[in-house]
Amino acid sequence: MQFEARVSLLGIFAFLLFKLFSSRARKANVPVVGSSAFFGYKTAFKMLTSYKQTLVEGHAKYGKSPFQVPGMRAWVVYVGRALFEDLRKSRDDTLSFQEEINDSVSIEWTMGKSVAYNTWHNVIVRKQMTQQLGIAFPLVYDELCHAFDDGFPGPGDEWTELHHVHDVIQQIVCRGANRLFVGLPLCRHPEYTRISRAFTGSVAKAGFLIAAFPKFLKPFVAKYFSGAPAAIAGFEPFIIPIIEERRRRAAEMGDEWQANKPFDLIQWLMDTAPEGEQQNPSELTLRIIGINFAAVHTSSMTFTHAFYWLAARPECVPALREDVAAAVTEHGWTKAGLNQMYKIDSFLKESMRHTGIATAIMGRKAVKNVTFSDGTQIPAGAHVAINLWSIHHDPEIYPNPDEFDPFRFSRKVEQGEGAVKHAFTTASSDFLLWGGGAHVCAGRNFASMLLKSMLAHIVTYYDVQFPNGAQRPPNLEFGSNVIPNPKATILVRRRQA
Ligand code: HEM
């Protein structure tokens, strides 16, 4: 039997077993939106394509108070802005991020227990990588320029149709990010970038499948029916020889190596890995994969959403071009220049507010009974998340919330309200796509550097538009994911120098 057919059969079997074996997580003492019929599955199925409407309905009925909805995996309590602080201050010993991620995408069973629970690599992204972004900028921007030259039309070309826009963007993001993760020449290797981009899909599918089985069957499913081991094995021949070669050279060269060693994530991981088995090249490879997993799809989907807005709203382009030109005249194409581009910053932030990649965020699993500051009791085992969509579309926070207003945030900066408060990278109770608290996105400064460079580069060097004045194509929604339309075509032309 074909692998795909086996996976489908197993999916159905898993679903039946799930019903038999799992007790749906206990409900909290908050009102229910949707129906409890058929163990809540009636609503759970509906939520696959109408997640946003359900959140809007809950918000309209219960205002800012929590409500709960049955999902495929479990019931989830959705909270509003008033309880953001409760979630932000929580730690993994009360409302656990790690347990939630494990429950939803089965990291323990796809990438292993040590990546799931011993996340020392996240600290490198949060601290070391973030602190080095000024030095990293020229490398990353160089890679982005090459990737744009390869994926976009060249000088002298006429208007060119860019099909499969998201694939083109994903390839550019993957190369830019991997220039810092693994360096040259690997970041350009077609097979490496292909498996890096495909990995998230294979592991997410495997994780979803494994999540549907009771605990005692997970090891069996993970071993025989998951695409994750093959996906991981695909990475090893690329990364392990680099690690071994660097260790050999470090031993031979001593101090000279220390003074001249490569500037990339592989090296930071090698230098920082705890003693013992974490130094093992296979373990280090898993960390590179884990960071690619967190970085590439999130950043490329976010950028594609913004790119569609750019093509749909050509009247914004002159102001964006001026913003870039002023910064580049003063600082050149540098990180300092990028920091000055506050209209580019605002455009991306507004795209993320209006068309973020998720409608709910900050998922947490209660590992003990918790009482929120408003008295809501969350029993151990329950799942909680923030109703991002309703907060990002609340007219009290964002006037005319359904309008895409690209300079919404830069106007506030011009009015003296503070550049940091309104910056793209600032996570807050009003802007939730980076999450918040102990697990707030560790790579958001790097993501901002990538995405701002890409938008600044496009407005400076290209004209873009939808064919025949077409409108921005509708997004696809699957569960809480908001996916940029995969079928859109954009016309692109290189501007004359
Ligand atoms: C626009 C792109 C991105 C978005 C929207 C995004 C969003 C998020 C969110 C929502 C979380 C969970 C926060 C929480 O629940 O409180 C997260 C965590 C994380 N992100 Fe990002 N992310 C993006 C790009 C990146 C990039 C480029 C990297 C790596 C360079 C990265 C690395 C991480 C890591 C390591 C964590 C886990 C942090 C921890 O557990 O301490 N992300 N991200």
Residue 381 in 3-state DSSP?
A: coil
Q: Is 109 within 8 Å of 207 (Cβ atoms)?
A: yes
What is the rounded average pLDDT of the residues 64-74? 89
- 126 or 21: whose pLDDT is higher? 126
Task: Report which ligand 1 atom has the smallest distance to the Cα of 290.
Answer: 35
CA of 291 to the centre of ligand 1 (A): 9
- Helix, strand and coil percent figures for the chain, each rounded to 5: 60, 10, 30
Task: Report which ligand 1 atom has the smallest distance to the Cα of 126.
Answer: 35
CA of 444 to the centre of ligand 1 (A): 6
Task: Report which ligand 1 atom has the smallest distance to the Cα of 98.
Answer: 40
pLDDT value, residue 89: 97
pLDDT value, residue 200: 81
Q: Supply the mean pLDDT for the chain.
A: 92
Q: Which domain holds residue 121?
A: 3-494
Considering only CA atoms, which residue is closest to atom 4 of ligand 1? 298
- Give the angle 163-164-168 at the CA atoms, nearest 5°: 100
pLDDT value, residue 128: 95
pLDDT value, residue 305: 98
Range of weakest confidence among 17-31, 35-49, 226-240, 296-310? 17-31
What is the Cα–Cα distance from 177 to 497, expressed in whole angstroms?
Answer: 27
Convert 332-343 to b/e letters by CB count within 10 Å (16 or more is b): ebbbebbbbbbb
Cis omega before residue 185 (within 30°)?
yes
Q: Do the strands 383-386 and 75-79 form a parallel or antiparallel pair, or are they unpaired?
A: parallel
Each residue's pLDDT tens digit, 302-341: 999 999 999 999 999 999 999 999 999 999 999 999 999 9
Percent of the chain scored above 90 by pLDDT?
73
Considering only CA atoms, which residue is closest to atom 34 of ligand 1? 442
Considering only CA atoms, which residue is closest to atom 39 of ligand 1? 439
What is the Cα–Cα distance from 431 to 415, expressed in whole angstroms?
Answer: 19
pLDDT value, residue 418: 84
CA of 101 to the centre of ligand 1 (A): 12
Judge whether 187 is annotated as a binding position.
no
Evaluate if residue 479 carries a pLDDT over 70. Answer: yes
Instruction: Supply the DSSP string of 400-421, one letter for each residue.
Output: STTS--TTHHHHHHHTTS-TTT
CA of 433 to the centre of ligand 1 (A): 9
Task: Report which ligand 1 atom has the smallest distance to the Cα of 450.
Answer: 27
H-state helical runs in 254-280 = 255-260, 265-272
Considering only CA atoms, which residue is closest to atom 21 of ligand 1? 441
Each residue's pLDDT tens digit, 212-236: 777 788 888 888 878 888 888 999 9
Considering only CA atoms, which residue is closest to atom 43 of ligand 1? 441
pLDDT value, residue 24: 60
Each residue's pLDDT tens digit, 243-279: 999 999 999 998 998 999 999 999 999 999 998 889 9
What is the rounded average pLDDT of the residues 100-122? 89
User: Sorting pLDDT into bands at 50, 70 and 90, what band is 25?
Assistant: low
pLDDT value, residue 53: 94
Task: Report which ligand 1 atom has the smallest distance to the Cα of 181.
Answer: 30
What is the Cα–Cα distance from 417 to 410, expressed in whole angstroms?
Answer: 10
The residue with tokens 């030259």 is: 149
CA of 288 to the centre of ligand 1 (A): 14
CA of 127 to the centre of ligand 1 (A): 13
Residue 83 sits in a domain whose CATH number is 1.10.630.10
Helices 190-211 + 228-253 axis angle, to 10: 130
User: Sorting pLDDT into bands at 50, 70 and 90, what band is 16?
Assistant: low
Residues with CB under 6 Å of ligand 1 are 97, 119, 122, 125, 291, 294-295, 298-299, 302, 357, 361-362, 433-437, 439-443, 446-447
Mutate to test the pocket of ligand 1, among 301, 349, 441 (most ligand atoms within 8 A of CB): 441
User: Sorting pLDDT into bands at 50, 70 and 90, what band is 37?
Assistant: confident
Considering only CA atoms, which residue is closest to atom 30 of ligand 1? 443
Domain count, the chain: 1
The residue with tokens 């696809």 is: 476
User: Sorting pLDDT into bands at 50, 70 and 90, what band is 91?
Assistant: very high
What is the rounded average pLDDT of the residues 39-61? 90
CA of 299 to the centre of ligand 1 (A): 9
The residue with tokens 């990364």 is: 239
What is the Cα–Cα distance from 331 to 301, expressed in whole angstroms?
Answer: 29
Evaluate if residue 15 carries a pLDDT over 80. Answer: no
Burial category of 318 from C-beta neighbours within 10 Å (exposed 0-12, middle 13-18, buried 19 and up) = exposed
Considering only CA atoms, which residue is closest to atom 2 of ligand 1? 299
Considering only CA atoms, which residue is closest to atom 22 of ligand 1? 441
pLDDT value, residue 270: 97
Q: For residue 108, give both structure tokens.
A: 């323990």
Q: Give first-to-last CA distance, the chain, whole Å.
A: 57
What is the rounded average pLDDT of the residues 115-138? 95
CA of 115 to the centre of ligand 1 (A): 15
Element (H, E) at 386: strand 383-386
CA of 434 to the centre of ligand 1 (A): 6
pLDDT value, residue 119: 93
The residue with tokens 């998922």 is: 363
Range of weakest confidence among 71-80, 174-183, 199-208, 310-319? 199-208
- Give the angle 408-414-417 at the CA atoms, nearest 5°: 85
What is the Cα–Cα distance from 195 to 187, expressed in whole angstroms?
Answer: 12
H-state helical runs in 118-213 = 120-123, 130-131, 133-151, 165-181, 190-211
Considering only CA atoms, which residue is closest to atom 40 of ligand 1? 439
Q: Is 243 within 8 Å of 266 (Cβ atoms)?
A: yes
Q: How many CA atoms lie within 13 A of 35 on its CB side?
A: 7
Residue 19 in 3-state DSSP?
A: helix
Evaluate if residue 386 carries a pLDDT over 70. Answer: yes
Q: Which residues pair with 383 in a beta bridge?
A: 76, 365
pLDDT value, residue 437: 96
Residue 394 in 3-state DSSP?
A: coil
Element (H, E) at 161: strand 160-162
What is the Cα–Cα distance from 332 to 283, expressed in whole angstroms?
Answer: 39
Please give the DSSP secondary-structure letter assigned to residue 254. Answer: T
Q: Is 388 within 8 Å of 363 (Cβ atoms)?
A: no
